[in-house]
Structure 1
């Protein structure tokens, strides 16, 4: 009996100290994902992206970054075979905000079910998920919803200006509708979901602390949401409206700051540590 107890205790100790098996993570997304490996494109504002922050907590995770600035679900679906994605244990899809702005039709659940192709959000996600399952039928697939956003002004091109998600896109569709479609797909396919839109705490109100705009008398004033909505900004003459002091969850109204990337990482770690 004593010998059996010793053997069991030895097995427990060996298991406790056994090296954690490496987890391969394929991160697919847009510029938010891209920035993790291209911090220079944020002019030094971002010091570490969400993927590196996940690895800080889960060092046995090894990731590959497949973030493409400006890309939509349709773009990923149509180019999937040319992206040279390696087989992984976990795939995350972090898309939606560009789909909203360019007005990619959302489609319906029928487009997903009937595999109608990548001309809609539902159809594009079907293509992507099918492609992933062809690579690894046992892989965990995690869908991330887009973040709420306020007025975006690109720090690298101040003429690139997009209004926040407090307004619908040019087709009259709210960003929340794209979020709901992604949630529906996750539910229908029994996929994991990281709901950044509704559950991260990042909102259009706190994306930035304020927007600094020039008044008629040429002086500047800090306006908090929603007081800055529709106030003019002249990219050729005015100072960039989001100085360092205005940074909150995002640094430019759209792209997460260090604080924002940490929130994304925390939500992913909570999920991925189960794997």
Structure 2
């Protein structure tokens, strides 16, 4: 993303930075949930008597010989910036090894897609069967919602539209997950959090961090409502201070960046999932879930 786009976003973001709570609250909530989940993961790993199983073990235990992996979202899902098919393909190969099964990948990523575009796309004819047949569905969406906001004419207009765009993103994301759950109550939903592609040395970096935390908090809270689901904490490995090592262009990861996301995805799917008492699938086994964010 070009610097001027970020600068447009920052101008209106800084207008409301006077309230410290407004700035720090999303990061506080994210950090608290990550700490809770890290403690749960550590506890399960050190308790030999634990009955918890991981998402990967769950996939491995499915009766079918093949696992169907549906990928939805934007150019990051497509694999832009990678010569190896992106993090989706990399993680898919690892899943095949870890589950000892063939993992069929159906990559439906669309460059430039916003949350509204994705909602329209999964509502289109032909997507229902894809969603129903999936055992795991990976989603990356939301970054282009911010980009299109930045392209509004001037910071004043952007400031006026920010809350509307933010509310629309939250509404679209809920509808996306709701529609997927209506079609497929069992598939593991994997959401890849947005990362900050701005160099940490830039003066406007703190404001971009605030904007992305707003978007990520919406994603985390939404994902948690549609279990079984996990969140890939990609921002923990795609660090702005090391961006030259993982960046391809102004925003997309290179092969190294995609590899780091893929490793985080596998790490996340190795975490234990807990029983969801509110839902038992037709297979006769209750689903277990753990919202992994660390």
TM-score normalised per structure 1: 0.59
| SS of 1:93 mapped into structure 2 | strand
Decide which structure has greater helix share: 2
Task: Please give the alpha-carbon distance, in whole angstroms, between the structure 2 residues aligned to 1:258 and 1:61.
Answer: 21
Match of 1:123 in 2: 171
**CA-CA distance at 1:73 after TM superposition:** 1.0
- Structure 1 segment 8-157 matched on structure 2, within 5 A: 21-35=65-79, 42=81, 46-59=83-96, 60-82=102-124, 84-85=126-127, 86=130, 87=132, 88-103=134-149, 105=162, 120-150=168-198
**CA-CA distance at 1:28 after TM superposition:** 0.7
- The one-character-per-residue Cα deviations of 1:233-254 (angstroms, maximum 9, x if unpaired) are xxxxxxxxxxxxxxx2111131
Q: Is the contact made by 1:26 and 1:90 (CA closer than 8 Å) also made in structure 2?
A: yes
Tell me, yes or no, if structure 1 residue 192 matches structure 2 residue 230: yes
Task: Please give the alpha-carbon distance, in whole angstroms, between the structure 2 residues aligned to 1:105 and 1:58.
Answer: 39
- The one-character-per-residue Cα deviations of 1:63-90 (angstroms, maximum 9, x if unpaired) are 1111111111121113322273302111
Match of 1:204 in 2: 240
RMSD of aligned Cα (Å):
3.4
Aligned partner of 1:262 among 259, 262, 267: 259
| SS of 1:205 mapped into structure 2 | helix
Task: Please give the alpha-carbon distance, in whole angstroms, between the structure 2 residues aligned to 1:68 and 1:106.
Answer: 25
- Structure 1 segment 171-182 matched on structure 2, within 5 A: 174-182=211-219
Task: Please give the alpha-carbon distance, in whole angstroms, between the structure 2 residues aligned to 1:258 and 1:273.
Answer: 23
- The one-character-per-residue Cα deviations of 1:203-259 (angstroms, maximum 9, x if unpaired) are 222222xxxxxxxxxxxxxxxxxxxxxxxxxxxxxxxxxxxxxxx211113111111
Q: Is the contact made by 1:107 and 1:123 (CA closer than 8 Å) also made in structure 2?
A: no
Q: Is the contact made by 2:177 and 2:223 (CA closer than 8 Å) also made in structure 1?
A: no
**Structure showing greater relative contact order (alpha-carbon pairs closer than 8 Å, 6 or more residues apart):** 2
Task: Please give the alpha-carbon distance, in whole angstroms, between the structure 2 residues aligned to 1:81 and 1:206.
Answer: 39
Structure 1's 121 and 53: CA in aligned 2 closer, same or farther, altered over 3 A? Answer: same
- Answer with 1 or 2: which has the greater Rg: 1
Task: Please give the alpha-carbon distance, in whole angstroms, between the structure 2 residues aligned to 1:75 and 1:126.
Answer: 14
Task: Please give the alpha-carbon distance, in whole angstroms, between the structure 1 residues aligned to 2:188 and 2:226.
Answer: 12
Task: Please give the alpha-carbon distance, in whole angstroms, between the structure 1 residues aligned to 2:115 and 2:136.
Answer: 18
Task: Please give the alpha-carbon distance, in whole angstroms, between the structure 2 residues aligned to 1:165 and 1:267.
Answer: 27
Q: Is the contact made by 1:105 and 1:121 (CA closer than 8 Å) also made in structure 2?
A: no
- Structure 1 segment 244-259 matched on structure 2, within 5 A: 248-259=245-256
Unaligned runs of 5+ in 2: 1-59, 97-101, 150-160, 274-294
